[in-house]
Amino acid sequence: MATNSDWAVEAHGLVKVFGENRAVDGVDLSVRAGTVYGVLGPNGAGKSTTISMLATLLRPDAGSATIFGHDVQREAQIVRQLIGVTAQFASVDEKLSATENLIIFSRLLGLSRSQARRKSAALLDEFGLTEAATRPLAKFSGGMRRRLDLAASLIAQPPLIFLDEPTTGLDPRTRSQMWDTIRRLVNEGSTVLLTTQYLEEADQLADRIAVIDTGRVVAEGTAEELKASVGESSLQLRLADGGDVDEARRVIRETLGVDAVISPEAGRITAPMADPDRVTDLFIRFRETGIRLSEMSVQKPTLDEVFLTLTGHGVDSDSVAAETIQKEEVHA
């Protein structure tokens, strides 16, 4: 199959309208072959809908997209052979065991019986499911199902893999295994387009990131570029003497060149920290001016802060809480 294009994905002005709702409202994306591309956005931003259009599962209302140069609408059959899709929700058979599910998928994809068995065992091992391999899925926890679903999508290793929130609901250990797997896929020549709500995940994996919100790309760039746009991190200080607040603020402006935010809580100050190197100067100045600190810490920007800065609103905290509930693992 022809993959002789530098671009795994090129999308221009993609639009999908559901009734009154412009779920995807003119999205442009360019994903270079052989890279990991992260689509970062809050619930309802249009991430899954965008993937569905790129994966030929949903027809765009406007705009166009090509996968390795093949048009998703006119050449849908070719596109389907170039891609693998992991949907956000599992699509495996409840009554069968993990091994049986994977073997069926493998056989459907044309692997021989022995190849199917080998591939299934290797994937179950990679996703930490070996011990549970013979258990019917009905007895799997949410996190285990999620892992199996991902394993199933990786049997055929297509040139372009869409992973829709691959680590939502996974525990931290499994999440980092998943990251290793994604890196392996790319080392072996695949291109990965993943969606995520976690800034850290995009940061760890993605060569470039598009931040989408209400159906539009609101920022695009490397993780470094995006973080720089919200400030690398912030410095949180508590003064031993709350009466020093004004003086401390003045010293911060002089040494860091930024305006500190004074918290209503006595003596608490937050300052954006664009250049960590200059913080040493700040502490020296504090000592010289007799300002004493009782606490200090450095906070990385959270996903919330990135969204706040880029979109003017944060991630919907209710929906994040709902996602967190899925994390519970049942140890049957």
Ligand X SMILES: Nc1ncnc2c1ncn2[C@@H]1O[C@H](COP(=O)(O)OP(=O)(O)OP(=O)(O)O)[C@@H](O)[C@H]1O
Residues forming contacts to ligand X in the complex (CB under 6 A) are 18, 21, 23, 41, 43-49, 88, 197
If one asks whether residue 141 binds Mg ion (CB under 5 A), the answer comes out as no
Check: CB of residue 235 under 8 Å from CB of residue 296: yes
Report the partner that residue 18 touches, choosing among ligand X, Mg ion, none (CB closer than 5 to 8 A by kind). ligand X
Q: How far is the CB of 330 from ligand X (least distance, A)?
A: 23
- Give the amino acid at 8: A
Q: How far is the CB of 77 from ligand X (least distance, A)?
A: 23
Number of residues that bind Mg ion (CB under 5 A): 3
Q: How far is the CB of 69 from ligand X (least distance, A)?
A: 25
According to DSSP H, which parts of the chain are helical? 47-54, 76-82, 98-108, 113-126, 142-153, 172-187, 199-205, 223-230, 245-256, 279-289, 303-311, 317-325
Q: How far is the CB of 16 from ligand X (least distance, A)?
A: 8
Give the whole-angstrom CA distance, residue 33 versus residue 308.
31
Check: CB of residue 237 under 8 Å from CB of residue 296: yes
User: How far does Cα 181 stand from its chain's mean position?
Assistant: 14
Nearer to ligand X, 47 or 227 (CB): 47
If one asks whether residue 196 binds Mg ion (CB under 5 A), the answer comes out as no
Report the partner that residue 89 touches, choosing among ligand X, Mg ion, none (CB closer than 5 to 8 A by kind). none
Residues 6+ apart with CB under 8 A from 109: 155, 156
Report the partner that residue 169 touches, choosing among Mg ion, ligand X, none (CB closer than 5 to 8 A by kind). none
Nearer to ligand X, 47 or 175 (CB): 47
Q: How far is the CB of 23 from ligand X (least distance, A)?
A: 3
Report the partner that residue 49 touches, choosing among Mg ion, ligand X, none (CB closer than 5 to 8 A by kind). ligand X
Nearer to ligand X, 88 or 309 (CB): 88
Q: What is the sign, positive or negative, of the torsion defined by CA atoms of 29, 67, 85, 48?
A: positive
Give the whole-angstrom CA distance, residue 308 versus residue 315.
8
Q: How far is the CB of 11 from ligand X (least distance, A)?
A: 14
Give the whole-angstrom CA distance, residue 66 versus residue 70.
5
Report the partner that residue 166 touches, choosing among Mg ion, ligand X, none (CB closer than 5 to 8 A by kind). none
Q: Locate tokens 């068995």: which residue?
A: 117
If one asks whether residue 86 binds Mg ion (CB under 5 A), the answer comes out as no
Among 31, 42, 48, 159, binds Mg ion (CB under 5 A): 48
Nearer to Mg ion, 42 or 159 (CB): 42
Q: How far is CA 173 from CA 6, 211, 224, in A?
A: 34, 26, 25
Report the partner that residue 45 touches, choosing among ligand X, Mg ion, none (CB closer than 5 to 8 A by kind). ligand X
Here the tokens at position 317 are: 């905290």
Burial class (CB in 10 A: 0-12, 13-18, 19+), 108: exposed
Residues 6+ apart with CB under 8 A from 176: none
Nearer to ligand X, 2 or 325 (CB): 325
Nearer to ligand X, 76 or 320 (CB): 320
According to DSSP, the β-strands at 70-71 and 62-67 are antiparallel
Nearer to ligand X, 197 or 255 (CB): 197
Q: How far is the CB of 93 from ligand X (least distance, A)?
A: 24
Report the partner that residue 41 touches, choosing among ligand X, Mg ion, none (CB closer than 5 to 8 A by kind). ligand X
If one asks whether residue 197 binds Mg ion (CB under 5 A), the answer comes out as no
Residues that bind Mg ion (CB under 5 A): 47-48, 88
